[in-house]
Amino acid sequence: MHWLDWLIIAAYLIYIVYDGIRLTRRSHGLEGYFLANKSLPWWAVGLSVMATQLSAITLVGTTGQAYDKGMGFIQFYFGLPLAMVILCVTVVPFFYRANVFTAYEYLERRFDAKTRSLTSFLFLLSRGLSCGVIIAAPSVILSIVLGWNETITILAMGLSTTLYTMFGGVQAVTWTDVKQMVIIFVGLAVVLFVIFSQLPSGVGITEALSIAGAAGKLETVSFNTSPKETYTFWSGLIGGLFLMLSYFGCDQSQVQRYLTARSVSEGRTSLLMSAFVKIPMQFVILLIGVLVFVFYQFQAPPIIFNRQDIAVVDSSRFSGEFHQLQQQYQTQAAARSTQATALSNAVNSGAADLAQQRDAYLRADSAMSATRKQAIDVVKQATQSQTFSDVNHVFPTFVTTYMPPGVIGLIIAAIFAAAMSSIAAELNSLSTATVIDFYRRFYRSNASDSHYLWVSKLTTLLWGVFACVVAFYAMQLGSLIEVVNRFGSFFYGSLLGVFVLAIGVKRATANGAFFGLIAGMGTIAVVHYGFNADGQVMSFLWYNVVGCLAVVAVGIAWSLVGVQRGDESSRKAAE
């Protein structure tokens, strides 16, 4: 990279770490460290909510997803606005007035300690796994830009952010989130401008979108009713609604954000801000991925984007076969570029043979896809792997190859900003739940605030190490944006079901909630490892619906039976 890029990245990292440490002086006492003394304005909380969700996975994984499969991923967010409205009416005022540190504290008041402990444990497990994936995403960038081994980059990113978070509190996390979101917005605007400036003369937005549309990249809505399809209107509206309700209403990493607001109304406003800014921003990120696809219609893309896979093949007995496929691919790329130019000219001039030009372009694109598929098979043999995905390498490869000096540094800084904001928030919430729901509840209930703060910093370090270990495995799982959502969908629906019982079902009992949660997790396990083992029966988005309904159904049934039998704990909880 150019020295200017290194200067921009270094300046960003130094400033963010300095600013985070500077803000730690406001985090005295347990409430100041975990809840910022409920003193933050709505716009800062709203940006922090967005920053927590907008990890580097969003920039790296979503752009790669759009390059590979198009705009259909936007359907994942169709349930978000409705979920935020529901949460603003129900959960936000409920948790805020309950005066709790964690969402799971309330469950002990409503039910019992075992229900609180199990839900908090499931949060810790799911969010710890997801944090590992969040660390893995920027490690892809570093491995490409610096040529480092991915193990080194995971440790460099994960442990450095962990150390920074240990000295912060939610005050430091929130205000650095605000600055990082500004960097991200500027970075996205610059990427769009540079991509358009690098397209061939005569290829404007209309021609670019026509090429993307011909390749099927602009299909944003599918009304397919099959539960096997991951991104459809119905899975996004229904499955996505349940996922968003659980994520923003039951996940400590999000609940802790709006518990820092000055009032209930400001907490509500912060969520609504996220609801109605997130989808347009996600649309822009997906559009960038599609435009990268269009750009590569006129420039030959790598046959394989992951340089480490290519290095493995080059040192194997498959090297000769792979290089023959590369030469064939380059020839086909030149032919496709010719057809893409012809299609662009036909769109620009309104030529009568537009349909024929589109068909010719699609044939050239199909020939390239067939050759790439053969290359992927060779990579699988050389790496002795049953799976392959390089979508996470598409955007960073494009940035480091074609962006001008200075812009590369800005975009990488934006990716770092997205990663650090999410990692810091996740580690802070993991530490909060560990200390409040387990350490203080079961081990040291009467210690001083200074003792709990020391333990919080230690648990932050331990969770950071755990997340790094998960990151090593996550790198092999395919599209990181899907991986993190798959992790969450194993747990979120069942957690949502417990809170539905707690807040919405007056006669739900402690045993009903506890065994309902176990039943929900068991149902998801059966669906995933049983029905989906031999062939996919439903997409992971529907797990959230299935888990929630299973918990509510079993919880209500168990509660009714327990009350009828006169069980003391059941009767007490029902009352």
25-39, 520-534, 550-564: which is most confident = 550-564
Q: How far is CA 376 from the centre of its chain?
A: 26
Q: Phi and psi (nearest 5°) for 38?
A: 50, 55
**In terms of C-beta density within 10 A (0-12 exposed, 13-18 middle, 19 or more buried), how is residue 207 classed?**
buried
Are 279 and 82 in contact by the 8 Å Cβ rule? The answer is no
**In terms of C-beta density within 10 A (0-12 exposed, 13-18 middle, 19 or more buried), how is residue 569 classed?**
middle
At residue 574 the predicted structure's pLDDT band, cuts being 50, 70 and 90, is: very low
Q: C-alpha dihedral over 19, 24, 25, 31, to 10 degrees?
A: 140
pLDDT at 222 over 70: yes
d(CA 38, CA 258): 9
| 128 and 171 fall within a common domain | yes
**Which one is predicted more confidently, 550 or 385?**
550
The pLDDT score that the predictor gives to residue 538 is: 75
Query: Which domain-ending residue is among 450, 467, 489?
Result: 489
| 346 and 379 fall within a common domain | yes
Q: Which of 243-247, 298-302, 374-378, 508-512 has the lowest mean pLDDT?
A: 243-247
d(CA 272, CA 264): 13
> What is the domain extent for residue 120?
3-18+30-296+400-489
The pLDDT score that the predictor gives to residue 337 is: 93
d(CA 215, CA 35): 48
On whether residue 391 sits in a domain, the answer given is no
**In terms of C-beta density within 10 A (0-12 exposed, 13-18 middle, 19 or more buried), how is residue 81 classed?**
middle
pLDDT at 47 over 90: no
The pLDDT score that the predictor gives to residue 338 is: 92
On whether residue 310 sits in a domain, the answer given is no
On whether residue 305 sits in a domain, the answer given is no
The pLDDT score that the predictor gives to residue 28 is: 64
Q: What is the average pLDDT across 167-191?
A: 83
On whether residue 64 sits in a domain, the answer given is yes
Question: What is the residue-averaged pLDDT of the chain?
Answer: 84
Are 471 and 133 in contact by the 8 Å Cβ rule? The answer is yes
At residue 419 the predicted structure's pLDDT band, cuts being 50, 70 and 90, is: confident
The pLDDT score that the predictor gives to residue 571 is: 46
% of residues, the chain, pLDDT over 90: 21
d(CA 342, CA 345): 5
pLDDT, tens digit, 9 for 90 and up, residues 237-270: 888 888 888 888 888 888 888 888 888 898 899 8
| C-alpha pair distances (Å), 279 with each of 44, 250, 257, 360 | 19, 21, 20, 35
116-143 burial, b if ≥16 CB within 10 A, otherwise e? bbbbbebbbebbbbbbbbbbbbbbbbbb
Q: Report how many helices (DSSP H) and strands (DSSP E) the chain contains, helices first.
A: 26, 0
| 341 and 419 fall within a common domain | no
The pLDDT score that the predictor gives to residue 484 is: 58
| 99 and 40 fall within a common domain | yes
Q: What is the average pLDDT across 165-179?
A: 79
Are 543 and 527 in contact by the 8 Å Cβ rule? The answer is yes
pLDDT at 479 over 90: no
Q: Which residue has the tokens 């090593």?
A: 472
502 Cβ contact list (under 8 Å, min separation 6): 106, 107, 110, 111, 508, 513
DSSP-derived letter for residue 392 is G
pTM over 0.85: no
Query: Which domain-ending residue is among 455, 489, 523?
Result: 489
| 427 and 505 fall within a common domain | no
Task: Classify the C-alpha dihedral 563-100-124-87 as positive or negative.
Answer: positive
d(CA 235, CA 437): 33
The pLDDT score that the predictor gives to residue 401 is: 87
Are 55 and 253 in contact by the 8 Å Cβ rule? The answer is no
CATH number of the domain to which 42 belongs: 1.20.1730.10
Domain count, the chain: 3
pLDDT at 552 over 90: yes
At residue 475 the predicted structure's pLDDT band, cuts being 50, 70 and 90, is: low
| 55 and 202 fall within a common domain | yes
Query: Which domain-ending residue is among 489, 515, 543?
Result: 489
d(CA 560, CA 574): 9
| 80 and 157 fall within a common domain | yes
| 344 and 463 fall within a common domain | no
**Intra-chain end-to-end CA distance of the chain, in Å:** 66
Q: What residue type is assigned to position 317 of the chain?
A: R
d(CA 471, CA 479): 13
| C-alpha pair distances (Å), 421 with each of 112, 293, 435, 472 | 34, 28, 21, 20
Are 283 and 80 in contact by the 8 Å Cβ rule? The answer is no
Are 169 and 457 in contact by the 8 Å Cβ rule? The answer is no
On whether residue 312 sits in a domain, the answer given is no
| 343 and 286 fall within a common domain | no
On whether residue 468 sits in a domain, the answer given is yes
- Residue 72's CB: how many other CB atoms inside 10 A? 22
Q: What is the average pLDDT across 517-540?
A: 77
Are 181 and 278 in contact by the 8 Å Cβ rule? The answer is no
On whether residue 314 sits in a domain, the answer given is no
d(CA 309, CA 150): 12
Q: What is the average pLDDT across 125-141?
A: 78
d(CA 373, CA 353): 31
Q: What residue type is assigned to position 558 of the chain?
A: W
On whether residue 303 sits in a domain, the answer given is no
pLDDT, tens digit, 9 for 90 and up, residues 74-122: 888 888 889 999 999 888 888 888 888 888 988 888 898 999 999 999 8
489, 466, 488, 432: which is closest to 132 by C-alpha?
Answer: 466
| 441 and 378 fall within a common domain | no
User: Token pair of 403, please?
Assistant: 């962006």
pLDDT, tens digit, 9 for 90 and up, residues 269-289: 988 888 788 888 888 999 999
% of residues, the chain, pLDDT over 70: 90
| 485 and 495 fall within a common domain | no
| 475 and 511 fall within a common domain | no
At residue 290 the predicted structure's pLDDT band, cuts being 50, 70 and 90, is: very high
Q: Is 11 left (phi over 0), alpha (psi -120 to 50) or beta?
A: alpha
Q: How far is CA 157 from the centre of its chain?
A: 17
The pLDDT score that the predictor gives to residue 336 is: 93
The pLDDT score that the predictor gives to residue 536 is: 65
